[in-house]
């Protein structure tokens, strides 16, 4: 359970998570054989980089949040037992892990948005949540079109 005490802690946490995901998606892209699959993961890593820069700019907002509402986010709880460092990580495994990561980040941003005290901050976190949902959908579509068809 992650407990946040300040707005800056939330932003720093989000930036750290984005950086972790940039590294993850870049590594996954390097492991994939198909060009279009490499491109998918590289594009997501680039989007995460842009999001990280957006979060850096938010540090200047010094927004008010109701931090009592952001105490148990349960980020990526189901991912703890998944070994993402395996050399034999399949395309299907990579997509499943990616979908779970995006879902967890969506919930995180949505939860933070609900506790935002000012409109600009709330709208920014809702936009970030929307970005995460869109990325999850891209992975779901890829899974549906290429993994489910093959199985």
Q: What is the pLDDT of residue 21?
A: 93
Q: Which helix (H) or strand (E) holds 48?
A: helix 35-58
Q: Average pLDDT in the 31-49 region?
A: 91
pLDDT score at 75 = 33
pLDDT digits (tens, 9 = 90+) for 66-117: 544 443 333 333 333 445 566 677 888 888 888 888 888 989 999 888 888 7
Report pTM. 0.76
CATH code for the domain defined by 7-147: 1.20.1260.10
The domain limits of the chain are: 7-147
Which pLDDT score is estimated for 2? 67
DSSP-assigned letter for residue 150? T
| SS3 state of residue 83 | coil
Return mean pLDDT, the chain. Answer: 79
Q: Tokens 């891209």: give the residue.
A: 138
């Amino acid at each position: 359970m992650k407990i946040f005490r300040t707005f800056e802690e939330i932003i720093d946490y989000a930036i750290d998570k984005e950086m972790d995901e940039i590294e993850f998606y870049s590594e996954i892209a390097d492991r994939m054989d198909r060009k279009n699959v490499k491109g998918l993961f590289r594009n997501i890593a680039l989007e995460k980089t842009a999001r990280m820069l957006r979060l850096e700019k938010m540090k200047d907002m010094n927004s008010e949040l109701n931090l009592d509402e952001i105490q148990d986010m349960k980020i990526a709880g189901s991912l703890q037992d998944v070994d993402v460092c395996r050399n034999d990580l399949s395309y299907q495994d990579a997509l499943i892990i990616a979908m779970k990561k995006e879902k967890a980040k969506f919930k995180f941003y949505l939860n933070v948005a609900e506790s935002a005290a000012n409109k600009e901050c709330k709208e920014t976190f809702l936009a970030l949540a929307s970005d995460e949902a869109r990325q999850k959908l891209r992975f779901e579509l890829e899974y549906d079109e290429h993994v489910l068809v093959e199985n």
